């Protein structure tokens, strides 16, 4: 196994990155989140324990792993402390390091996010309203407050005065909203958060550089999926941070000059929370059946996810842009029992057949799917799961084998990992 492994989503997020990260983390020394914030939700299930994570990397259930929140992540300190305490109550003391260069989400960022969501109307991304976009904007405006600033009262106050004035001015004067949190209240509250998190905040970039230099194994975990990327996804219906594999170096502060294993996580169907064109969306009883069986409700928001057939145009783009070396396919068990399944191999838009994702929002709105229909497999029961775990790939139903081979042919990338249930153990290698 290469020293560096990168986990990325190939769809709109919710592909099962948390489970696959946890699966590989047992062989890692470090697991690193390199972008996003608590707008992400990763679920890890180990036996009868379920860990719902938003900021802490999904390697946390492996006791030997050091988990790092990199500089590219934006952090709500209050939420992070709740997450740490929840894990402690589940008998996990996180081995956690937080980049001193990661930016902090402040109360005015959340208020700004709510105002912006209403302002954008039909072009909105379906924001979780956690303050993610405004804190990345403040980072670019150079009004940002970093986690290390919370440990230095004088610097924090100096920065907060400017940021508070700027953001509250926009909230009240541009959007005509009230903001009732006083400067001094925020100042003292966040100094308190800094003290509680002091033991974790450090130079993670140097930590990772030394780990990398001495040959330790590092896994990078992205949040969301490629179609939400602000550059390469379905803009503006996306997130505020780059979630492709190439951003891992920026978001951790280390140049990774070695061959990398880049694993693209692909769900056997597609789900989406938020607004955007959705070419393969299923709006009938089949979509509802998949939603309920797959428990397709947001980990962060609880919102029901939109459901669609697997879109290979979407996955094809993710493979190309992130340089994905292999695919992990998840939730095969959810489709079991359907009469047939469909895979989108191309779009028809503007009277043309296209096989790559267009940048044009108009083209995406007008796109219609071109499907390959295939027979489905029977429902997974415990007997079948046990058989597959014992015998591996050879014990998969022929319908699944044919389905996987067709996907590989379409996206020109091999499928190496197969997941057929939520538990860590419900996973096999394709080889």
- CATH number of the CATH domain containing 175: 1.10.300.10
Give 73's strand partners: 36
The count of structural domains within the chain is: 2
- Which residues are within 8 A (CB) of 85 and not within 5 positions of it... i.e. 6 or more apart? none
Residue 96 lies inside a defined structural domain of this protein? no
Q: Domain ends where: 144, 164, 197? A: 197
pLDDT per position as a tens digit, 81-139: 999 999 999 888 889 999 999 999 999 999 999 888 776 555 555 566 788 999 999 99
**Please, what is the average pLDDT of the chain?**
92
Residue 117 is predicted with a pLDDT of: 75
Q: Domain ends where: 151, 177, 197? A: 197
* Co-location of 290 and 351 in the same domain: yes
Percent of the chain residues past pLDDT 90, beyond the cut: 76
Q: Are 175 and 115 in contact (CB under 8 A)?
A: yes
* Co-location of 253 and 401 in the same domain: yes
Residue 430 is predicted with a pLDDT of: 86
Residue 58 is predicted with a pLDDT of: 84
Q: Domain ends where: 197, 222, 249? A: 197
Cα separation, 100 vs 89, in Å, equals 26
Residue 5 is predicted with a pLDDT of: 96
Cα separation, 219 vs 209, in Å, equals 13
Residue 123 is predicted with a pLDDT of: 53
How would you label 181-190 residue by residue, b for 16+ Cβ within 10 Å and e otherwise?
eeeeebbeeb
* Co-location of 238 and 179 in the same domain: no
Percent of the chain residues past pLDDT 70, beyond the cut: 96
Given a cut of 60, whether residue 329 has pLDDT beyond it is yes
* Given the residues 27, 29, 42, 398, the one annotated as active site: 42
42 labelled catalytic: yes
Q: Which pLDDT band holds residue 41 (cuts at 50, 70, 90)?
A: confident
Residue 317 is predicted with a pLDDT of: 97
Given a cut of 80, whether residue 44 has pLDDT beyond it is no
Residue 301 is predicted with a pLDDT of: 66
- Which residues are within 8 A (CB) of 168 and not within 5 positions of it... i.e. 6 or more apart? 108, 179
Residue 124 is predicted with a pLDDT of: 54
Residue 121 lies inside a defined structural domain of this protein? yes
- Specify the 3-state DSSP secondary structure of 391: helix
What is the reported pTM? 0.93
* Co-location of 150 and 180 in the same domain: yes
Range of the domain at 362: 4-91+204-429
Identify the CA nearest to 38 among candidates 81, 97, 99: 81
Cα separation, 256 vs 208, in Å, equals 10
| Window from 20-34, 96-110, 288-302, 309-323 with minimum mean pLDDT | 288-302
Q: What is the CATH classification number for the domain harbouring 24?
A: 3.90.170.10
pLDDT per position as a tens digit, 338-375: 999 999 999 999 899 999 999 999 999 999 999 999 99
β-pairing, 340-349 vs 368-375, is antiparallel
Q: Which pLDDT band holds residue 252 (cuts at 50, 70, 90)?
A: very high
**Per-residue tokens: 130:** 């956690």
CA distances from 392 to 226, 385, 388, 401, 419 (A): 30, 10, 5, 12, 11
Q: Are 98 and 88 in contact (CB under 8 A)?
A: no
* Co-location of 192 and 208 in the same domain: no
Cα separation, 151 vs 139, in Å, equals 18
Residue 98 lies inside a defined structural domain of this protein? no
């Amino acid at each position: 196994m290469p020293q560096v492994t990168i986990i990325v989503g190939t769809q709109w997020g919710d592909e099962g990155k948390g489970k696959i990260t946890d699966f590989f983390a047992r062989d890692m020394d470090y697991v690193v989140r390199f972008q996003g914030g608590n707008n992400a939700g990763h679920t890890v299930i180990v036996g009868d324990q379920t860990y719902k994570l938003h900021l802490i990397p999904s390697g946390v259930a492996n006791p030997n792993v050091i988990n790092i929140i990199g500089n590219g992540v934006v952090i709500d300190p209050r939420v992070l402390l709740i997450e740490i305490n929840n894990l402690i109550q589940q008998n996990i003391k996180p081995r956690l390091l937080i980049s001193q260069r990661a930016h902090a989400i402040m109360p005015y960022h959340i208020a700004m996010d709510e105002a912006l969501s209403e302002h954008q109307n039909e072009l909105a991304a379906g924001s979780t309203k956690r303050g993610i976009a405004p804190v990345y904007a403040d980072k670019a405006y150079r009004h940002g407050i970093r986690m290390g600033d919370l440990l230095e009262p004088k610097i924090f106050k100096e920065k907060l005065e400017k940021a508070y004035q700027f953001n509250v001015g926009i909230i009240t004067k541009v959007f005509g909203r009230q903001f009732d949190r006083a400067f001094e209240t925020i100042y003292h509250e966040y100094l308190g958060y800094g003290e509680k998190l002091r033991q974790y905040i450090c130079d993670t970039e140097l930590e990772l550089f030394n780990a990398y230099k001495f040959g330790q194994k590092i896994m990078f975990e992205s949040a969301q999926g490629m179609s939400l990327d602000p550059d390469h996804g379905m803009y503006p219906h996306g997130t505020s941070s780059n979630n492709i594999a190439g951003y891992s170096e920026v978001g951790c502060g280390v140049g990774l000059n070695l061959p990398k294993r880049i694993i693209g996580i692909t769900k056997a169907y597609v789900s989406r929370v938020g607004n955007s064109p959705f070419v393969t969306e299923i709006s009938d009883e089949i979509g509802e059946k998949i939603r309920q069986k797959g428990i397709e409700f947001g980990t962060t928001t609880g919102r029901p996810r939109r459901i669609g057939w697997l879109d290979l145009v979407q996955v094809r783009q993710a493979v190309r842009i992130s340089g994905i070396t292999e695919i992990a396919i998840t939730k095969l068990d959810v489709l079991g029992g359907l009469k047939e399944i469909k895979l989108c191999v191309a779009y028809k838009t503007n009277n043309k057949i296209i096989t790559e994702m267009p940048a044009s929002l108009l083209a995406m709105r007008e796109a219609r799917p071109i499907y390959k229909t295939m027979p489905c497999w029977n429902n997974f029961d415990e007997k079948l799961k046990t058989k597959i775990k014992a015998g591996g790939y050879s014990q998969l139903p022929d319908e699944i084998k044919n389905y996987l081979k067709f996907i590989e042919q379409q996206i020109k990338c091999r499928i190496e990992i197969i997941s057929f249930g939520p538990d860590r153990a419900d996973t096999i290698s394709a080889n």
